[in-house]
Amino acid sequence: MTSARTTRRRRAVRAVLATLAALTVLAAGLGGLVVWQNTYDLSEEPVTVRHGGRTLQGVLARPKTGRGPFPLVVFVHGDGPVDATHDGFYRPLWESFARAGHASLSWNKPGVGGAPGDWLDQTMDDRAAEAADAIAWARQRPDVDGRRIGLWGASQAGWVLPKIAAKDPGVAFAIAVSPAVNWLRQGRYNLLAELRRDGASDTEVAAALRRRETGLDLLARGAPYEEYVRAVGDAQGMTAARWRFVSRNHTADASADLPALRRMPVLLVLAGHDVNVDTAETEAAYRRLLPGPALRVAHYPDATHGLVDHAVESSSSRLILSALCAPRSLFVRGFLADQRDFLASVAGAGAQR
């Protein structure tokens, strides 16, 4: 005869097994959801771009249907060690563009993902020349419409996009997302915006500004990294390689190059919660230097610098869950659709010419 204790034990075991089974089913369901949400309506091809003695490792994303030739969007990264997909961040954009009938081309920055070189050795002119070579390579492909190649670039790409347009008069359009205009003013704005966001005291702000002025004085006279470290004490993440990168690029200002975009449709995308770029300065510069109806300006009050919804980015758990289970929802409402609509209008205008 089974004892009461044994019966209770068996019931407990059955309850645990039932819970484990339910969790297994739930995990399988979530796994299926993650796979489904990270499956995109486009075709990706790994490519090696070889042109002008340059080798770039990238991805060409095309619409799943149709043989082309497709209009092409060439992606120009922002700052940092970015790979061709930007850790998957670009794929919702590529899908949106594919639905507008466009292909997308992106590549690993030098030194990223096994690519040759080091992105920290580049100037903004180097980056523009790199993109120009990629465009020349793309024009040789039968599935790309060489007359309808445009640019998409974010943040630091604000200094690169106009240079590409100046090098290649065949560029047909540009999308500038949170672009910077002046390196030094952008850096000061970013410093103060982050200090305000983090609740810094007046004393801390004053100290940060003094430190910044010290760094600028050293940059102006070409001081080596070792002198910078001696002057500021704690380098706070400024490596020797980063110091060389900043030394090469800190005088960047897009104002002289922006008029190269006058001959094409331009979509300027600005975020309401941008702590990296002074969007008021950027909009004023674009409107002054690109007058006329070819410039369209899209404001997203609830977006951060990367056009991620501010409410999502402000919550670590929500950000991670959205990235895994609903990556398209990372972006602020309307952003993906507006990008697609802009490309559709550009394609329509091109077909009419």
Mapping DSSP onto H, E and C, the string for the chain reads CCCHHHHHHHHHHHHHHHHHHHHHHHHHHHHHHHHHHCCCCCEEEEEEEEECCEEEEEEEEECCCCCCCEEEEEEECCCCCCCCCCCCCCHHHHHHHHHCCCEEEEECCCCCCCCCCCHHHCCHHHHHHHHHHHHHHHCCCCCEEEEEEEEEEEHHHHHCHHHHHHHCCCCCCEEEECCCCEHHHHHHHHHHHHHHHCCCCHHHHHHHHHHHHHHHHHHHCCCCHHHHHHHHCCCCCCCHHHHHHHHHHCCCEHHHCHHHHCCCCEEEEEEEECCCCCHHHHHHHHHHHCCCCCEEEEEEEEEECCCEEHHHHCCHHHHHHHHHHCHHHHECCCHHHHHHHHHHHHHHHHHHC
Q: pLDDT (tens digit, 0 to 9) for every residue of the chain, 353 residues total?
A: 344 444 445 454 445 445 545 545 444 554 543 543 567 989 999 999 988 888 999 999 999 988 889 999 999 999 999 999 999 999 999 999 999 999 999 999 999 999 999 999 999 999 999 999 999 999 999 999 999 999 999 999 999 999 999 999 999 999 999 999 999 999 999 999 999 999 999 999 999 999 999 999 999 999 999 999 999 988 888 999 999 999 999 999 999 999 999 999 999 999 999 999 999 999 999 999 999 899 999 999 999 999 999 999 998 888 888 888 888 889 999 999 999 999 999 976 655 44
Query: Tell me, what's the pLDDT at 77?
Result: 97
pTM listed for this prediction: 0.87
pLDDT tens track for 229-241? 999 988 888 999 9
